[in-house]
């Protein structure tokens, strides 16, 4: 446990931010999963779910939860995965 007053405050701030970031990351993963599941089932709204997932990833990067390059990697992998699923379905 920290003895320095500023470090005790910093620990409280870090914990609050960790919990906030955790929910953002969880939602990001959930949106990606639903987009992939929709593509696998051949749903009509798969494109819309992909758009929402990409939007959520961009928002997380804008908030500083993930780095912008990490966001680009997430989006790239997600789009590639969905395109592969749709190509296999044809």
Q: Where residue 87 falls among pLDDT bands split at 50, 70, 90?
A: very high
Scanning 42-67, the segments in alpha helix (DSSP H) are 46-63
Q: Where residue 80 falls among pLDDT bands split at 50, 70, 90?
A: very high
pLDDT tens for residues 27-77? 999 999 999 999 999 888 999 999 999 999 999 999 999 999 999 999 999
pLDDT of residue 8: 96
Specify whether the CB–CB gap between 69 and 87 falls below 8 A: no
Specify whether the CB–CB gap between 38 and 46 falls below 8 A: yes
Q: Is 75 exposed, middle or buried, given 0-12, 13-18 or 19+ CB atoms closer than 10 A?
A: middle
* All structural domains of the chain: 5-89 (1.20.58.110)
pLDDT of residue 50: 96
């Amino acid at each position: 446990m920290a003895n320095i007053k500023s470090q005790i405050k910093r620990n409280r701030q870090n914990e609050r931010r960790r919990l906030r970031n955790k929910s953002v990351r969880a939602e990001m993963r959930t949106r990606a999963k639903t987009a992939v599941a929709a593509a696998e089932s051949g749903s009509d709204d798969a494109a819309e779910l992909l758009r929402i997932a990409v939007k959520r990833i961009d928002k997380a990067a804008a908030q500083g939860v993930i780095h912008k390059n990490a966001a680009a990697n997430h989006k790239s992998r997600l789009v590639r995965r969905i395109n592969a699923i749709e190509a296999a379905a044809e």
